[in-house]
Structure 1
């Protein structure tokens, strides 16, 4: 870990705890900063704050005092989920105090270079697949970021001959200043998180931060099939590596029905890829391109591609039950993700869908609803999704109160040869704290189907 003399005796406010806030506070304390943590959860209920206080870190809990920055803070590290219209964040910006997320801190202390992966969809699959490929290739990768392990914690122990493969959300990327990945991957850009960013333009600008500081010694792997991403890529100073599934290309990486091509030359057979769906082919191309740039052996790539069946909660194969294949795609919190999941299958589908009602339309799903012969709807959007499914000609539509009730109902509607697919097209927060909880309950209910009688 690099020692940052710039942090010694610096007054730093960590705003919001959770995993990233705790990690940032502890790291800054080690680096000699004077750290204060501010979190909305009351102190008596705040285990993380209690532990930090025992380490000698100042904690202010239960509210966000409007005059907090009068204490003379020189830097704010904020939880990515805290919006920029938060009273303290707005005040910091007004006063000219830098506002970072812990990703910037991770970059500054890391001995190892970064590979940064962002996009509206596919970033977790791409991150995990690339990590597995590099690991098989003997390149000693580490994995971090939005995928679960806090980046600055990983960066503390990273060595110069390693590489940190990092999933990055737009929320995290808004809080960087000098962060510069050696390789950046931008999978796609679809309308999302407008409630946080305000406009699609601001969302796109946040994503562009992944390459904003790159130069000609770095690489940007990007989706050339998406005009909006390609237009952003033109403004990058990095070496551009496009990926496309539309035609064989002599630039970057591409694919046809039989092969994957690197700069027009065939390198891998398509039939080695275990992941289903056109959207996952894009993720494969992005990951393979990065692996090639890291000099990973081709046979190691092929080995991983033939066995990698997906990431938990992302078109994850759960089991085969009575000649039906069951998939968990709880991460599909928007229509674009559900559209990709539906397009991945040619079999008849029983779809489980619904969740938090943000008022968005389901019309983007209409072109891929042909194989859906039955649906089980739940959550705040149950009524709206039922109306939409009916307009698409879905034969059977059933309501459920929650996931546990939805699974046996889906089983009852299914036939041999069907796919039973949880792909909600909505966030989980109306009923569950996160999509992982929703997916875990789905898996649990699916594993209990043996007790179900037709």
Structure 2
């Protein structure tokens, strides 16, 4: 088990437990730090609380009193806790550093650390990169916003094992020294403004992924995104751009028939089974990260000729009587749905709807050109019906939920149609998570068999 060799703090407040807080607290305690834990939800009877007490943690439960900051040198916060929390506001006044647990994970990884972020495509790119390294017999673990907690993975890394982290803006905002050897930034679009308050705050959190990189590191970025291209001019790392539209002498690109890393051909496009131009961007980024980390072309090809998508992210579910069903429940905003629709050329019946956040869904209209039908559900179903009417969609129907929408769509479809769940909305009006919504879709499709 790895040790924190250079962590310069001894008195630590862990604010909020859940998975990341629990893992961080345990790691800190095992490394001899004095840890105070403050959690509003858990009680003394909780198994998690009892485990931490047994390791020597001081627990403050049930509320967030400002007294928890007494004697504290650094705060490790749960990524989901707002910076408007009174304890964090007071910590900032006292100039106490505030981090998320990926800062601790970073301190544990002396070998290769790969960090991947972006508004869309993080999970797919992280999964592809990890799989390419595994297929190339490169020892690797994956963690962060996907799979296990980063600190837990880092603490248990084997010698010479790489760590691939999927990183959210919430995690990246809480960094001080965090420095991946290979950083990937896919795209930055408007998101999570309820947390970050402004688009600029959100973007700067994302750009933290390369702030501390040096000339020894690599920064893989989307050269088709003008703002990202402008931002990376301040980076000190070696720049590795990727593009689906132009040839790059020092990057990863495609000429429409093959994928190239620098001047080396890696794979023919026709062999790649993952659909969508947005996924081609993810593939290029993953190829760059994997190649820099030691992947072989053979390992990369084995992944790209078999990988059909991450669950709930434009995932091919099944072919039922000639209809192709795709689960894109992770599409919780319009941009994700626009990209999903762009992945298909054949007639498509779109299943969409969910939590009404007040968005102007008419932005979807230009992307409905090959949508032959809409089945809407949830709080936004009337809004989406109006959008479909303006877009002259021939079939406009609604359903009570995703399960019923599958049945309705199938009844109005024809052979070779795509039936696509890509809601453009969060799931919380009817489902606890987008994963639950996607699972309901998958179950409903299988009932048609």
Structure-1-length-normalised TM-score: 0.95
**1:213 aligned residue:** 212
> Does the aligned pair in 2 maintain the 1:7–1:31 contact within 8 Å?
no
**1:416 aligned residue:** 415
Distance 1:429 1:8 in 2: 41
Distance 1:3 1:294 in 2: 24
Q: Which segment drifts farther, 152-161 or 274-283?
A: 152-161
**2:106 aligned residue:** 107
Q: Is 1:37 matched with 2:37?
A: yes
Structure-2-length-normalised TM-score: 0.96
Give the 5 Å matches for 1:181-196.
181-196=180-195
1:432 alignment partner, SS class: coil
> Does the aligned pair in 2 maintain the 1:2–1:108 contact within 8 Å?
no
2:344 alignment partner, SS class: coil
Q: Which segment drifts farther, 413-422 or 208-217?
A: 413-422
Question: How far is 1:47 from its partner?
Answer: 4.8
Question: How far is 1:48 from its partner?
Answer: 3.1
Q: Which segment drifts farther, 438-447 or 239-248?
A: 438-447
Distance 2:50 2:382 in 1: 44
> Does the aligned pair in 1 maintain the 2:243–2:253 contact within 8 Å?
yes
The alpha-carbon distance between structure 1 residues 413 and 161, as it changes in their structure 2 partners (threshold 3 A), is: same
The alpha-carbon distance between structure 1 residues 410 and 54, as it changes in their structure 2 partners (threshold 3 A), is: farther
Q: Is 1:13 matched with 2:13?
A: yes
**1:24 aligned residue:** 24
Residues 209-265 of structure 1: CA deviation (Å, up to 9, x unaligned): 000000110000000000011111111100000001112222211112211122244
> Does the aligned pair in 2 maintain the 1:111–1:158 contact within 8 Å?
no
Distance 1:84 1:260 in 2: 42
> Does the aligned pair in 1 maintain the 2:2–2:156 contact within 8 Å?
no
2:305 alignment partner, SS class: helix
> Does the aligned pair in 1 maintain the 2:3–2:155 contact within 8 Å?
no
Q: Which segment drifts farther, 262-271 or 348-357?
A: 262-271
Q: Is 1:148 matched with 2:141?
A: no
Give the 5 Å matches for 1:337-352.
337-352=336-351
Q: Which segment drifts farther, 223-232 or 265-274?
A: 265-274
Question: How far is 1:343 from its partner?
Answer: 0.4
**1:251 aligned residue:** 250
Gaps of 5+ in 1: none
Q: Which segment drifts farther, 256-265 or 345-354?
A: 256-265
> Does the aligned pair in 1 maintain the 2:351–2:376 contact within 8 Å?
yes
The alpha-carbon distance between structure 1 residues 273 and 76, as it changes in their structure 2 partners (threshold 3 A), is: same
The alpha-carbon distance between structure 1 residues 140 and 52, as it changes in their structure 2 partners (threshold 3 A), is: same
Distance 1:59 1:446 in 2: 47
Distance 1:329 1:377 in 2: 15
Question: How far is 1:55 from its partner?
Answer: 4.1
**2:236 aligned residue:** 237
The alpha-carbon distance between structure 1 residues 415 and 110, as it changes in their structure 2 partners (threshold 3 A), is: same
Residues 272-328 of structure 1: CA deviation (Å, up to 9, x unaligned): 211001001101100111122123221211121111111011000111111111111
Distance 1:418 1:199 in 2: 40
Question: How far is 1:65 from its partner?
Answer: 2.0
**2:357 aligned residue:** 358
2:335 alignment partner, SS class: helix
> Does the aligned pair in 2 maintain the 1:379–1:401 contact within 8 Å?
yes
Q: Is 1:201 matched with 2:197?
A: no
Give the 5 Å matches for 1:7-406.
10-43=10-43, 46-69=46-69, 71-406=70-405
Gaps of 5+ in 2: none
The alpha-carbon distance between structure 1 residues 44 and 448, as it changes in their structure 2 partners (threshold 3 A), is: farther
Q: Which segment drifts farther, 312-321 or 158-167?
A: 158-167
Distance 2:290 2:274 in 1: 17
